[in-house]
Amino acid sequence: MQSKMAPRWYVIEVSTAETTNQEATEQSQVMMSSVKVECVVKMNTLIGEGPVWEESDQMLLFVDIAGQKIHRWSPATNQIQSMETGDTVGFAVPRRSGGYVAGVGRSIVAVDWSAQMMTSLVDVDENKPNNRLNDGKADPMGRLLAGTMGKEKRPTQVEKKQGSLYSVNSDLSVTKHLSQVDISNGLDWSLDQKTIFYIDSLALTVDAFDYDPSTGHLGNRRVVYRMEEGEGFPDGMTVDANGHLWVACYNGGQVINIDPATGTRLQTVTLPVMKTTSCCFGGPDYSDLYVTSASLGLAQPEISHQPLAGSTFRVRGLGVKGRPSHSFSG
């Protein structure tokens, strides 16, 4: 059934703050001597998430899951446009036919940004009313992959094994690929599109599956990286133009760069916030790494130590580039 919702929409200007990535620089003097971390969208989102670089408009799209908002930030003007979604929003992904597709509550909705309207396309987890959509991304063919999770009492304290991973085809048919997921996170694909990288955060691993781009079938699950003590929970992730992974570490205050072929950590980028949630490459030549963060669940003393919690950061000087994102074909 289709339903229409009219959310509120507004534009604000945001301030920026800069920090140098001293710790990371010290860890790896030669490789990272010119790495710079800037806070570009200073905003206390509850759960900033799902950054996507929109090449056509040179803007960064991201969501605030618990804050129930979709944001678009322009580096050129430093303006941010925001839209309220009226429920949690796990992701927003550009749609080939225009606007976005977003995961609002348990509904996959079409977002008409210029009219500020949402139209529900299809629901998932209909038998699990407490569940909600979490991270989602379009595959290279334009299929939407999106996961769900159970009710979260406090960040990471979730009703276990309630989530699933789905794909939504262009005709809006839905396929369930995985069930018994704790917190569905982290999607991206290898350069040859034959592998999907996936994260169920509470498993503390980054996994890979064989992926068939023509059918969307997933098989042969294996672990490519196991989180080390102090690294936090693996969360959102992006694959760079060399095929290496950049994994945001929730409660780890860092993004780690992994070679999935060897399972080794190549670089570490330390951020001035602990709840780093996701990342994507963007900018005119895809050499800027954008990193989102969360503030939900921080106690007051922690917030005073991390005043930028919930903000979005830009990391420059990594010496690698990313790839353009894909749009949903439905």
Q: How buried is 251 (Cβ within 10 angstroms: 0-12 exposed, 13-18 middle, 19+ buried)?
A: middle
User: ∠ at Cα 166 (205, 56), nearest 5°?
Assistant: 90
Q: Which does 136 bind (CB under 5 to 8 A by kind): ligand BGC, Ca ion, none?
A: none
Exactly one of 235, 255, 271, 318 binds Ca ion (CB under 5 A); that residue is 235
Assess whether 259 carries a catalytic annotation.
Answer: no
> Which among 160, 112, 113, 108 is positioned nearest to 136, based on CA atoms?
108
Using the contact rule CB under 6 A, the part of the chain among 95-103, 139-147, 151-159, 163-171 near ligand BGC is 151-159
Minimum distance, C-beta of residue 50 to ligand BGC, in the bound complex (Å): 8
Whether the Cβ atoms of residue 260 and residue 232 lie closer than 8 Å to each other: no
d(CA 326, CA 193): 12
Exactly one of 64, 84, 125, 135 binds ligand BGC (CB under 6 A); that residue is 135
> Which among 230, 302, 236 is positioned nearest to 272, based on CA atoms?
302
d(CA 59, CA 53): 6
Exactly one of 64, 135, 231, 288 binds Ca ion (CB under 5 A); that residue is 135
- Draw the binding track, 31-50, toward ligand BGC (x: CB under 6 A; -: no contact): ----------------x-x-
Q: Which residue has the tokens 């979260």?
A: 152
Minimum distance, C-beta of residue 271 to Ca ion, in the bound complex (Å): 15
- Token pair of 101, please? 């597709």
Q: Does residue 185 touch Ca ion according to CB under 5 A? A: yes
Q: Does residue 67 touch Ca ion according to CB under 5 A? A: no
- Draw the binding track, 252-291, toward ligand BGC (x: CB under 6 A; -: no contact): -------------------------x--------------
Distances (CA, A) of 68 to 5, 47, 82, 162, 282: 14, 9, 10, 22, 24
Using the contact rule CB under 6 A, the part of the chain among 75-83, 95-103, 148-156, 222-230 near ligand BGC is 148-156
DSSP-derived letter for residue 326 is: P
Residues classed as catalytic = 235
Binding site for Ca ion (CB under 5 A): 135, 185, 235-236
Residues at the interface with ligand BGC (CB under 6 A):
47, 49, 65, 134-135, 152, 155-156, 183, 185, 235, 250, 277
